[in-house]
Amino acid sequence: MPSVSRRYANAGQQFERPSSRRDDELRAPVVLMVSGGADSTALLLLAATAELDIDDGRGTARIARERLHVLHVNHGLRGLDAAEDEEFVRDLSARYGIPCTVRRVDVAGLADAGALGQAAGSNVENVGREVRYQEASKLANRLCAEVGVPRSAARILTAHTANDRAETFVMNAIRGSGPAGLSSIPRRRNRIVRPLLDRTHDELCDLLRMRGIVWREDATNADTRYLRAFVRHQVMPLLRERNPRIEASMSATCDILSDEDAYMNQVASRTYRDLVRRSSPTMVALDAARLAACEVAIARRVVRKAMLAVCPDARLEARHINRVLALVAAGSGSASTPMGCDARVEYGLLFVRARAAAGEKDGPLALWLDVPGRLTLPDGHVLLARVVAVPQGSSAPEVARAHAVEWEGRSVLLDAAAAGLDAQGGRLWVDSASAGDVMCPLGMHGQSKKLSDLLNEAKVPAADRAAVPVVRTSPRGQVVWVAGIRPDERVRTLPATRLLLELSLSRD
């Protein structure tokens, strides 16, 4: 029986949709990932002859035969057995009139070479899994293009069962995991749908026997050196002695954890957006004080999002997150993780940076500039800042105009008070232009302009724009000066100006 959340989700999808979207869903390809084992053989049989819920809002329904396409990936690991698996899947597909695509991949070679973003010598099982999903995605994309429907309308069906879900739950518990890992195998992730999660392996085997259909057995499934085989053959039988319906019980637990994890992620996403002060592809700055005030369950997720934003391939562990949270609680300090991230708390902000960016000549900027002070930028330029008094008997606007002409815009005099500074100075924030940034360029009488348009008019090549310093009053404050190009109208000098902020950009 579908979970409570599944019924709610299906109910929500019953409302009227645009007809074009419905047409796309009814024509979009459905890729069946079939290895030849009992579970995937049953998936092919049920997709061809019965009703399945492929999470398109219709509940259980027949899938049009012309939508079905079988994918078999031969990993090249089991010699003749693998070739016989391939031939079995071809024959079974032909019996039901379903097109079959076979991909042959040297998974062992990929694992040894450290391909697909994995470390050299990686677990062959993990690499094989990545290969299967990559091939399924490529096939789905190609079929969508042939039919003329959006890629998102396709479905990729896997034959995971209640047994697989329970085993994954136990495996993740053994390794140590949070709610996401203990949610085990989700019913759906984007285009990937698992319509057999409410059925057990034994039920599917009985179905195949009733239909007189044989299946292939992979001998490695009995090798308990692999964690899954160990859990399947040694742990689960013991649990089943205590609870004969252990798979159903664990599946219900996984549904609950999955629903609650999804809700917590929504809360964490909103919190993350609220706490971000600046961001770039390799840097995120969060409000450290507000992060410290969050519930720890939300704070963990926020830090995780920040680290994955700059290091998407990082395999984060609880100790990495806790190390960063300890910095936030202390209010200062820095730490590096083996995942390629550097974290530092200073000036009330948590900065998370991709370590590889530290040595990049033209990497995105994200730095404080003390006033008075100097800041050496990654490209070798130096930003200088100081506060000076308007010379007695002089007009601040006239002094500023003469200074800008003399220095050809590489140095400017602005109203220090309008930039949030006093006679003792203070600090300013320096970073790069971000999407959606706007300012009021001097000379446009208060009209706003996107920074991207300003840089385009200044004929700054797109590849060089990340290296152009943008001086702001704070990480989320107004623009003071796009260095070497234009100051902001709101910090221009006025006749009443008494303190001048001098900003200069030069080579060291």
Identify the residue with better confidence: 11 or 310: 310
Exposed (0-12), middle (13-18) or buried (19+): which is 392, by Cβ within 10 Å?
exposed
Average pLDDT over every residue of 434-452: 87
Identify the residue with better confidence: 461 or 484: 484
Q: How confident is the model at residue 360 (pLDDT cuts 50, 70, 90)?
A: very low
pLDDT of 458: 86
Average pLDDT over every residue of 199-205: 95
Beta-bridge mates of residue 375: 383
- pLDDT digits 0-9 by tens, 160-172: 999 999 999 999 9
pLDDT of 115: 56
In order of their start, the domains of the chain are 4-163+186-220 (3.40.50.620), 281-359 (3.30.465.60), 366-507 (3.50.40.10)
- Distances in Å between the Cα of 270 and the Cα atoms of 22, 59, 239, 264 are 31, 31, 40, 10
- The DSSP 8-state label assigned to residue 155 in this structure reads E
Residue 168 CA to residue 257 CA, distance in Å, equals 14
- Concatenate the DSSP letters of all residues of 243-268 into one string: -TTHHHHHHHHHHHHHHHHHHHHHHH
- Distances in Å between the Cα of 101 and the Cα atoms of 159, 425, 496 are 17, 68, 77
Strands (E) across 54-115 are located at 60-62, 68-74, 100-104
Sign for the pseudo-dihedral over CA of 355, 359, 365, 369: positive
- pLDDT digits 0-9 by tens, 96-153: 999 999 999 888 888 777 655 544 445 777 788 889 999 999 999 999 999 999 999 9
- Residue 190 neighbours by CB distance under 10 Å: 10
- pLDDT digits 0-9 by tens, 380-401: 788 999 999 999 889 999 999 9
**404 pLDDT higher than 60:** yes
pLDDT of 358: 40
pLDDT of 339: 63
Closest by Cα among 146, 143, 161, 183 to 30: 143
Q: How confident is the model at residue 363 (pLDDT cuts 50, 70, 90)?
A: very low
- pLDDT digits 0-9 by tens, 324-343: 999 999 998 888 776 678 88
- Residues 6 or more apart in contact with residue 469 via CB below 8 angstroms: 365, 377, 381, 383, 430, 431, 432, 482, 483, 505
